[in-house]
Amino acid sequence: MSQPPRTRKQPSSEVHWRRGEVVDAGEGSGGGSSSPWTRIFTVIALLFLFDLVLGHGMTPADNTPTPEDRRGLRRVLRMAADDPGRSVLLIGDSVIAGDVMAGHVQGWERQRVIDHMAAELAAETELGLHQIALDGMLPIDIEHVVAELDRVDPEGRVEVVLELNLRYFSAAYAEQHTCSREVLCELAPTLAAGSGGTLDYAWRGLAEGAGWIDDVLLDSAPVHRRRVALGERPRLDEVYGLAVPRVSERADAGEVDAALVHAQAQAAGRVLEHYRSATLSPAGGASAQVDALRRTLARLHDRGRRALIFVTPLADAFAEQATPGPQLGALHSQIGALVHELADSRLRFVDLDHPLFVDDLFIDHCHLWPSGNRLLALNLLHELSAPMRSRPPEAAMVVAEDFDQTLVSRVDQGYAEGAAWQALFDTPDGIDASDDASWIVVADTQNHMLRQLRGHMRVVEPLAGQPGKRGSLDGSSTRAATLYRPRHPTIIGDAVVFIDGLRRERVRIVEHAKRVDHGRVRTLTWEGPHCSAYRRLRASEGMLYLLCDDGRLLGVGLEVAVGSPASVAGEASELLAPFLAPAWAQAGAAQLEPEPTSAEATSAEAAPVDATSAEATPAKLAPVEPPPQLARPHRFDVAPGGRLFFSDQHQRIWEAKLTDDGAALVDDPQLAFANTSASLLPWEDRETFPFDFDQLGLAAISDLRWVERYGGLLIADEHPIAPKKADPRIERELSERVHLRLFDLEAGQIYPWVKPIPHGEAYSLWNARANAVVSYFHRGSYVVAQNDASLIWIERDRSRLFRLSDGLLGLIKFGNRNGLWAKVELYDTIANVAPDAALNAYRPDRYFDERFDPFTRAGPYLGVMVGSSLTTLVDRIGNYSLGRRLELELQRELGYRDNLRLDLFQRTAPSASLKSEVGMIDKLISAGVGFDVIFVEINDHRGRFLRDTPKRKDWLAQLSRLERLASKSGALVILFDNSALDADGRDGLRASAASTHELLDAGRMLGFLVLEPTDRMLRDLLVESPWGTQPWGHSEHHGAPYAIDRTAEVLAQLSYPRISRFLAGREPAHRRPLERGTKRGKRLADAFEGLELDTSALPEVAPTYLQQTYDAGHVQVFVDLAGFAKLGRSEAELDRIAAAVVVGVLDGEAYGQLASKITVTLVEFDNYDEYGEGVLESATTRWSETFKAATLAEFLGRAAAP
């Protein structure tokens, strides 16, 4: 039976619960409730209120691991872009992420690299550190992160630090074109692989826009936006102290899970294979990861973003397994080549896989324990030029804090690419560099290779040839071409020309040498004369000059345009041939054996010296008959303006002028240096550089280079050795025999070219076994980078390559001192004379701002130390400088902690007095040098320090003179007590003389910084003894080398805080014109002359009621009248109080001799602080006057007359 249709009762619009029943809103009385919108708005309001409560005082957790969602990653990038100060973003894999420490290290989230970087930063540094680091982060992932950073930071303000793990360049990842995590490809999705069509890009653009809207909505949602501050819910097994199973603990410790062990072994094998198959070389085939890295570097370059790229340190034992032999260095070199191809100084590749990362610092093959993370953090901060809170140990740093750098440092020879501690050379013969030294090319002769360093010079890369494979094949420079003992490369544009062949019979060129695949090698040919054997090459203004073994000099036009093949222009011409020297150029010239011309010869051999004397004798050339008239060019260089310089086989130097086209000589060569002296180093007492041309001779010129800055020739002279007893080992191994001399051809003077180091005589040392003067420089090749006159030197017998700054700039900082009683065979040939002469002749200090510095440092600021031989002499070894040691200490303190660079000049005098020390400062300032810091040695010298100024007023006048000199540049004056180094007839570290304390007290009154290090050093006697040197004979009273080292360390520790504050934000003095100095009137002490004062009638003055300040000859005295409570406040009584104060402050005291003006202010205080000092806000001035000498005499005559 059918049922009638059921009708649904329409509910009322509102129902309520009343008295246990559900009723419609209209039923009964009592009215309705709120509307739905009201409830919705109430819930929203409560939600926002809860959000505000959560946000009150809450800050994001900075140490949380990198988020792995798109919004979280973008949030990190936005935080980096919004950082108001300097912002640095670290991008890397698990080594940076640090999560491998989980389960091994309690609180690992605070032990990551970024945490140690933040902890080591100086307190007031405005440097924000941010990080995106995920396990297994591939270069293609990094590309997306950097692209997204470009979107949020289009100005390129955020710096990036990229960590590259070599295993990600293995064959396993070569074809992976997608991100390791999908979320990473959601960043900058337009980079993702696709069809590349218009619709494809439009779709990805819409997807990116939708994702951005999604991020905005979620990041703005109440409560949800607080998720970062709330942090992750901690896992119980990570909470210290809870008795719960740990992830790292086995459920059954007694059982061995064979499957797990097997899985771990398989994983280790896969990791090992990744490293073994890693390559970035084009020869290794296409690689998606290499291509991604290239695109990332290009993006950084195009955006102008600063970037630091480094490779992950590897445990040595693992690295030897995974990348045996030179393979590891080759991989580092390949990464460097990709970075350096862009020639962008803002992109820096640094190899931090240094031997200081010993195996015990590693958890596994690449992940570090906290101590290893700290070591990596210190070096990253150093590379970023970020100020540190404390100076790190020098042994913990991969690269030293210095503007001079060792670029390769291996004692062995062989072949290897890579960083300074990896690369090897084998008997290199020739080096060249671009004018700015951003490109260095080395002829690695016995490896049959050309090698190069580029950019920041951190890795050695191959340029042309194949290691150990000799030949003459042209072609691709590193794939097909073979070389045969290449020598003497010459850079021309982006090409390199070099000598090649067993008999040096070919001239070849590497074209497009700066390209990552290094272009091509071909043999140059031309019409006209050739050489059977080439000796040297030079290039200048479109001409290539070639010196033949037979003494002819050829010139051929060579046009090199960047990006185009080189082309020979016209025929070669013979510019010079062996010629008959004028008779006047022959007399007295020293005779040497001609240089061997065999194919194996790589350097000249000098004639033996006379070795018949049993005593140590200075190196001299044997006198011989006048040489034949024939002069054969031997070494040469071409200076701008067509100036040709060459030496002949008799070590004479000639000059000639080239025609405008450089293809011929304008006139006959003119003799510039006749080499008439038989002495290779004059060494009589007080004979010093600069030497005249007739004082110093040359033995064997190994090379000569023009220095444009000074208009002189830098000549390397190889001294002969002549052992008294035949010693083949010494003949074979003694390579430290090259002496560098700068020849001023116009003035006819010779200067040394040096780096100032503590042992100032390292450039001329007597070797009794060799019967020769040996040197700092070992046999090798060198070039001068013309932009800053820096010297780049590669040794022939070790794998050592270094760069030193301008040698004359180094010379003017010297202040050597040696004496008749020092137990050395040679006297100092530099002293103060050579530095002062170089300063006056060339003013090298003008070039401080042009000096290359591998780190970003403010300055340089200039300081000077003046003192006695105690600051520069050790009786047993000769010159050893306290100034140089102090410079090194302060250089490291200020460099690491403040990003400041300080250079320290030094000047010394024997038994220096106060007057002579101030005079040395006056001499330097009068020469135009502006100093920021002045160190003055104070020492009694057995009563001789004040011999020129025995009276108090005289030595106070010298302090006043010092103050006025310092005021010309606003310098900080530091007086240091050096009595501890004085060991006259007994050991040092004794109490200072009363006169020394009196001088130091006067210095304090003047506002000088006073250093008294003796007590601080006394404890060092437990391990450093004696402080002097035996046998303490006549004039042997100088400290030991280690005593000088400890003194420098303590002086640096004591002075650093003041110097750091003083130099912060200061414009270096050498960039400002010197002031005339504070003009002073008559001394206030003169006001007392001829006056008869009744001091007994004046009120007694208690020092506790006086506050005194002194500045530039002006004394200000504030007097609290509470100290004169019994006196009235009439004008006469106030005058008497002021007169009493003036007499007490000036009469017989230092201020009277130093000041020319005094201001006395009498005040009353209504309130005093808890220390009994008057509160300035409550002060009422009762009397105030300023006096000079004349007005002060008048006042005292009236107020204090009998």
The CATH number that applies at residue 1041 is: 3.40.50.1110
pLDDT band (50, 70, 90) for residue 245 = low
Nearby residues of 1046 by Cβ (< 8 Å), 6 or more positions away: 1017, 1020, 1024
Query: Which of 523, 556, 576 is a domain's end point?
Result: 576
Output DSSP code: residue 904. Answer: E
Q: What is the pLDDT of residue 1201?
A: 75
Tell me whether strands 127-133 and 633-639 are parallel, antiparallel or unpaired. unpaired
- Helix (H/G/I), strand (E/B), else coil: 261: helix
Amino acid 1075: pLDDT: 83
Query: Is 640 within a domain?
Result: yes
840 is written with which tokens? Answer: 């006056």
Domain boundary among 1054, 1078, 1102: 1078
Q: What is the pLDDT of residue 602?
A: 39
Pairing status of strand 1106-1111 against strand 307-311: unpaired
Nearest to 594 by CA among 648, 652, 646, 535: 648
For residue 541, pLDDT beyond 80: yes
CB-CB neighbours of 660 under 10 Å: 9
Give yes or no: residues 748 and 874 share one domain.
no
pLDDT at 837 over 70: yes
Same domain, yes or no: 1069 and 1088: no
CB 1105 within 8 A of CB 1119: yes
805 vs 432: CA distance, rounded Å: 16
Instruction: Inform me whether the pLDDT recorded for 241 exceeds 90.
Output: no
Residue 594: both structure tokens together: 């001609």
Among residues 734, 855, 891, 756, which one has the least CA distance to residue 811?
Answer: 756
User: Residue 406: in which H helix or E strand, if any?
Assistant: strand 405-410
Range of the domain at 1120: 1084-1199
Nearest residue to 1122 via CA among 1180, 1053, 1046: 1180
Among 34-43, 428-437, 687-696, 1009-1018, the range scoring the smallest mean pLDDT is 34-43
Q: Is the dihedral of CA 1009, 1015, 1016, 1018 positive or negative?
A: positive
Count of other CB atoms within 10 angstroms of residue 805: 24
Q: What is the pLDDT of residue 1104?
A: 79
Task: Dump pLDDT digits (tens) for 142-173.
Answer: 999 999 999 999 999 999 999 999 999 999 99
Maximum CA extent, the chain: 150
**Is the per-residue pLDDT at 1012 higher than 90?**
yes
Predicted confidence (pLDDT) at residue 593 exceeds the cutoff of 70: no
Cβ count near 299 (within 10 Å) = 18
Residue 1064 lies in a domain: yes
pLDDT at 1151: 77
Q: How many helices (H) and strands (E) does the chain have?
A: 25, 48
Q: Which structure tokens are listed for 671?
A: 């003799």
Between 1183 and 232, residue with greater pLDDT: 1183
pLDDT of residue 938: 96
Q: How far is CA 750 from CA 217, 679, 829, 850, in A?
A: 76, 13, 12, 24
Rounded Cα distance between 1147 and 211, Å, is 83
User: Quick check: 936 and 908 in contact, CB under 8 A?
Assistant: no
Measured distance CA(611)–CA(622) in Å, rounded: 10
Contacts of 706 (CB under 8 A, 6+ apart): 637, 638, 639, 643, 645, 712, 713, 714, 784
Same domain, 1114 and 1056: no
Query: Which segment of 631-640, 847-856, 1063-1072, 1128-1137 scores lowest on mean pLDDT?
Result: 1128-1137
> Treating both helix axes as pointing N-terminal to C-terminal, what angle do 914-926 and 952-967 enclose, rounded to 10 degrees?
20
Average pLDDT, the chain: 86
Following CA atoms 217, 223, 224, 227 in sequence, which dihedral angle do they give, to the nearest 10 degrees? 140
Distance CA 757, CA 888 (A): 9
Q: For residue 49, which phi and psi values (nearest 5 degrees)?
A: -60, -45
Q: Which helix (H) or strand (E) holds 370?
A: helix 370-383
pLDDT in tens, 974-994: 999 999 999 998 999 999 999
Residues 899 and 944 reside in one and the same domain: yes
Q: Is 476 buried (19+), middle (13-18) or exposed (0-12) by CB count in 10 A?
A: middle
pLDDT in tens, 418-466: 999 999 999 999 999 999 999 999 999 999 999 999 999 999 999 999 9
Cα-only R_g, the chain: 39
Q: What is the pLDDT of residues 1154-1167, one digit of tens each?
A: 788 889 888 887 77
pLDDT tens profile 503-532: 999 999 999 888 766 689 999 999 999 999
Q: At 149, is the secondary structure helix, strand, or coil?
A: helix
Helix/strand/coil for 436: coil
Please report whether residue 219 resides in a domain: no
Q: Are residues 920 and 1010 in the same domain?
A: yes
Tell me the three state secondary structure of residue 744.
Answer: strand
Tens digit of each residue's pLDDT (9 = 90 or more) over 664-677: 999 999 999 999 99
- Tokens coding 530: 């050739």
Domain count for the chain, please give it. Answer: 5
pLDDT tens for 339-380 read 999 999 999 999 999 999 999 999 999 999 999 999 999 999
pLDDT > 90: percent of the chain: 61
Q: Is the pLDDT of residue 209 over 70?
A: no
Does one domain contain both 737 and 872? no
Q: Is residue 445 part of a domain?
A: yes
Whole-number pLDDT of residue 113: 97
Contacts of 654 by beta carbon, 8 Å cutoff, 6+ apart = 631, 633, 645, 646, 647, 648, 669, 670, 671, 672
The set of residues, in sequence order, having a beta carbon less than 8 Å from that of 944 and lying 6+ positions away, is 911, 913
Task: Give per-residue pLDDT as tens, 120-143.
Answer: 999 989 999 999 999 999 999 999
Look at the alpha carbons of 296, 302, 307, 311 in this order and tell me if their dihedral is positive or negative. positive
User: Where is mean pLDDT largest: 351-360, 622-631, 1084-1093?
Assistant: 351-360
Q: Which residues of 551-584 are buried (b: 16+ CB within 10 A; e: fewer)?
A: bbbbbbbbebeeeeebebeeebbebbeebebeee
User: Distance of CA 86 to CAs 67, 156, 384, Å?
Assistant: 23, 12, 11
pTM for this predicted structure: 0.85
Cα–Cα distances (Å) from 569 to 133, 421, 497, 508, in that order, read 56, 43, 15, 16
**Nearest to 949, CA basis, from 912, 974, 922, 975:** 912
CA distance 267 to 771: 63
Q: What would the mean pLDDT of 1139-1168 be, rounded to a whole number?
A: 80
What is the CB neighbour count within 10 angstroms for residue 1136? 18
Instruction: Tell me the residue type at 926.
Output: S
Q: Do both 966 and 1095 map to the same domain? A: no
**Whole-angstrom distance, CA of residue 199 vs CA of residue 237:** 50
Which pLDDT belongs to residue 1? Answer: 46
Please give the single-letter amino acid code of residue 720.
P
3-state SS class at 369: coil
Pair 1034, 1117 in one domain: no
Q: Is 770 exposed, middle or buried (0-12, 13-18, 19+ CB in 10 A)?
A: buried
Percent of the chain with pLDDT over 70: 83
What the block records as the tokens of 681 is 């180093």
Q: What's the average model confidence in pLDDT over 801-815? A: 96
Q: What integer pLDDT is reported at residue 1116 of this predicted model?
A: 85
Q: What is the CATH number of the domain that holds 509?
A: 2.120.10.30
Please give the structure tokens belonging to residue 1025: 């003894």
Token pair of 306 as six digits: 């600063």
How long, in residues, is the chain? 1202
Asked whether residue 435 is domain-assigned, the answer is: yes
For residue 761, the model assigns a pLDDT of: 85
CATH of the domain at 1188: 3.30.300
Higher-pLDDT residue of 1179, 480? 480
Whose tokens are 């590749």? That residue is 349
Answer yes or no: is 264 within a domain: no
First to last CA, the chain: 147
pLDDT of residue 262: 63
Question: Who wins on pLDDT, 203 or 380?
Answer: 380
Please determine, for residue 612, whether its predicted confidence score (pLDDT) is greater than 50: no
Q: What is the mean pLDDT of residues 787-815?
A: 97
Do 361 and 410 lie in one domain? The reply is no
Question: Do 592 and 564 fall within a single domain?
Answer: no
Query: For residue 1191, is it within any domain?
Result: yes
For 690, which DSSP code?
Answer: S
Which one of 553, 576, 599 terminates a domain? Answer: 576
The rounded distance, in Å, linking the Cα atoms of 922 and 927 is: 9
H helix or E strand, kind and range, residue 220: helix 198-220
Q: Are residues 1030 and 1154 in the same domain?
A: no
Alpha helices in 615-757 (DSSP H): 728-733
Q: How far is CA 609 from CA 190, 280, 591, 721, 937, in A?
A: 76, 54, 11, 7, 44
Residue 1022: inside a domain: yes
The pair of three-digit structure tokens given for residue 175, joined into one six-digit string: 């074809």
**Structure token pair of residue 1126:** 């019994």
Sheet of 670-673: strand order equals 633-639, 643-648, 653-657, 670-673
Distance CA 375, CA 113 (A): 9
Which range of 31-40, 278-287, 442-451, 1185-1194 scores highest in mean pLDDT? It is: 442-451
Chain segment 325-334, per-residue pLDDT in tens: 899 999 999 9
pLDDT of residue 607: 33
* Together in a domain, 384 and 287: yes
- Residue 349: strand pairing partners: 309
CA dihedral 35, 41, 47, 51 (to 10 degrees): -160
pLDDT (tens digit, 9 = 90+) per residue, 908-962? 998 899 999 999 999 999 999 999 999 999 998 888 999 999 998 889 989 999 9
